[in-house]
């Protein structure tokens, strides 16, 4: 099999790394890739927002399968374009990717199909109506821009001042262009979050191991939101009863609902859940694997990813077995100083070669550039270090042992990935 992977982060490095282990895979290209991905794949230039250009490139390369990492090409309709040109690709069509591409579509879809989610106060096209709506909400309240805003389109606002300022940025200053001109205002839910990600062929569903992301920049869930500073998975993270509830009340009705509306969903579907006291509730859908969730999931996958994705693209996912390594995985993201705000790049990374030899540890590159034998930082999230072990405690300590040996100027990471779960698992909760 010859496979084309699209994307340039730690998630795509994890995909390429896992695909490389398949005995069916003979060649991998990645557009645009990064310094670490270049160890396992031929990296080619290309723009992820240029769907027609990517399809033309694929017509030349003739991969047996294309796998898409980030949401943007999916929301822009890359699956429709590839399919039209007879190129096999795994992922949702443009219509199906609206589950992530439009928060209003997602909320109305959940309402139509009785899928548990936060109650909506309303959807607003004019700033005046949105400000007026704030007079009748409970605080905190959640404001969501309808379209894609690179992870910056949601605010949990504690006060009317915060909410008003965010609405003004979206609807009057047009900070995110058309993506922010329509907003959804909904109730804030409390609880622990969970990333429940499945692969589906439109009918059959293959759940990944559940993971938990750490979105805030600093320890103790303080500081600004980031793309994700670390993630973990562990057997026993959620009870079998809760997992069954998630599958029957959320996952199955979503897949069935999309098919019933004439837009069967194919590919990875990420359910961002709040484990509220009343039960699991959907906060958001993403039409892709999470990042850094993918880096915590794929090292635990024992089955052949190439075979699995090929089966999903062909609508015969039920024919492939899914096997997972028992135990746990922990992924710690090493970020540039200042991220998610302003940061410098081009810093030399030290200690990578020896750290990379550690057993049960994989170092995924999220934003690096290779120059000879050396690697330099090239974006906010730089590396994602993942350890697997038979227990969560083992994975945490192994991961941080390796992290301690890596260094670049300004390097910043969280020291408490999985810490809360570790104490509750230890307490037997
Ligand atoms: P999103 O941009 O849709 O991924 O949402 C980003 C984050 O906002 C989620 O991971 C939650 O932490 C938070 N969030 C979204 N909706 C709600 C809600 N209804 N209640 C509480 N937090 C929320
Ligand atoms: N880690 C959150 C996301 O991928 O959206």
Would you state the pLDDT for residue 253? 98
Would the pLDDT of 35 be above 90? yes
Would you state the pLDDT for residue 13? 98
The protein residue with its alpha carbon nearest to ligand 2, atom 3, reads: 290
Would you state the pLDDT for residue 136? 95
pLDDT averaged over the chain? 96
Share of the chain above pLDDT 90, in %: 95
Separation of CA 148 and ligand 1 centre (Å) = 14
Query: Could you tell me the pTM of the whole model?
Result: 0.97
List, for residues 137-188, the tens digit of each pLDDT value. 999 999 999 999 988 999 999 999 999 999 999 999 999 999 999 999 999 9
Would you state the pLDDT for residue 429? 60
List, for residues 387-422, the tens digit of each pLDDT value. 999 999 999 999 999 999 999 999 999 999 999 999
Q: Which atom of ligand 1 is nearest to the CA of 117?
A: 19
Mutate to test the pocket of ligand 2, among 103, 151, 332 (most ligand atoms within 8 A of CB): 151
Would the pLDDT of 338 be above 80? yes
Go through the domains of the chain in sequence order and give each one's CATH number. Answer: 2-93 (3.40.50.20), 126-181 (3.30.1490)
List, for residues 351-369, the tens digit of each pLDDT value. 998 877 777 999 999 999 9
Q: Which ligand is nearest to the CA of 103?
A: 1
Separation of CA 144 and ligand 1 centre (Å) = 9
Separation of CA 427 and ligand 2 centre (Å) = 28
List, for residues 47-65, the tens digit of each pLDDT value. 999 999 999 999 999 999 9
The protein residue with its alpha carbon nearest to ligand 1, atom 3, reads: 284
Would you state the pLDDT for residue 428? 65
SS (H, E, C) the chain: CEEEEEECCHHHHHHHHHHHCCCCCCEEEEEECCCCHHHCCEECCCCCCCHHHHHHHHHHHCCCEEEECCHHHHHCCHHHHHHHCCCCEECCCCCCCHHHHCHHHHHHHHHHHCCCECCEEEEECCHHHHHHHHHHCCCCEEEEECCCCCCCCEEEECCHHHHHHHHHHHHCCCCCHHHHCCEEEEECCCCEEEEEEEEECCCCEEECCCEEECCEEEHHHEEEECCCCEEEEECCCCCHHHHHHHHHHHHHHHHHHHHHCCCCCCEEEEEEEEEECCEEEEEEEECCCCCCHHHHHHHHECCCHHHHHHHHHCCCHHHCCCCECCCEEEEEEEECCCCCCCCCCCCECECHHHHCCCCCEEEEECCEEEECCEEEECCCEEEEEEEEECCHHHHHHHHHHHHCCCECCCCECCCCCCHHHHHHHHCCC
Ligand 1 interacting residues, C-beta cut-off 6 A: 118, 142, 151, 153-154, 156, 186, 188-189, 193, 215, 272, 283-284
């Amino acid at each position: 099999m010859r496979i084309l992977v699209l994307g340039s982060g730690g998630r795509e490095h994890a995909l390429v790394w896992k695909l490389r282990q398949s005995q069916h895979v003979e060649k991998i290209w990645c557009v645009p890739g990064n310094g670490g991905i270049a160890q396992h794949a031929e990296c080619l230039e290309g723009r992820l927002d240029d769907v027609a250009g990517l399809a033309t490139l694929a017509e030349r390369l003739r991969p047996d399968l294309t796998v898409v990492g980030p949401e943007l090409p999916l929301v822009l309709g890359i699956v429709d374009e590839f399919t039209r040109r007879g190129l096999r690709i795994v992922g949702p069509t443009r219509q199906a990717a609206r589950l992530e591409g439009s928060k209003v579509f997602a909320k109305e879809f959940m309402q139509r199909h009785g899928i548990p989610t936060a109650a909506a106060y309303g959807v607003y096209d004019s700033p005046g109506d949105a400000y007026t709506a704030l007079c009748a909400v409970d605080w905190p309240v959640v404001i969501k821009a309808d379209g894609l805003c690179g992870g910056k389109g949601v605010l949990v606002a504690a006060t009317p001042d915060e909410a008003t300022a965010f609405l003004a940025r979206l609807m009057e200053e047009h900070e995110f262009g058309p993506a922010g001109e329509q907003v959804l205002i909904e109730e804030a839910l409390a609880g622990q979050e969970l990333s429940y990600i499945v692969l589906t062929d439109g009918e059959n569903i293959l759940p990944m191991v559940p993971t938990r992301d750490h979105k805030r920049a600093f320890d103790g869930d303080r500081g600004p939101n980031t793309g994700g500073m670390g993630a973990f998975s562990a057997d026993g993270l959620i009870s079998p009863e809760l997992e069954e509830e998630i599958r029957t009340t959320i996952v199955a009705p979503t897949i069935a609902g999309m098919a019933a509306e004439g837009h069967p969903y194919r590919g990875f579907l990420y359910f961002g859940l709040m484990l509220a006291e009343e039960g699991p509730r959907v906060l958001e859908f993403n039409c892709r694997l999470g990042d850094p969730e993918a880096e915590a999931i794929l090292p635990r996958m024992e089955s052949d990813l190439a075979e699995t994705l090929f089966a999903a693209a062909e609508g015969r996912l039920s024919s492939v077995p899914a096997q997972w390594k028992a135990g746990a995985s922990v992924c710690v993201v090493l970020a540039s100083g200042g991220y998610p705000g302003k940061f410098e790049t081009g810093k030399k990374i030290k200690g990578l070669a020896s750290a990379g030899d550690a057993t049960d540890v994989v170092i995924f590159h999220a934003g690096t550039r290779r120059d000879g034998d050396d690697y330099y930082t090239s974006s906010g999230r730089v590396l994602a270090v993942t350890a697997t072990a038979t227990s969560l405690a083992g994975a945490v300590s192994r991961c941080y042992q390796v992290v301690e040996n890596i260094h670049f100027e300004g390097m910043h990471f969280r020291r408490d990935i999985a810490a809360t779960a570790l104490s509750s698992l230890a307490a037997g909760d």
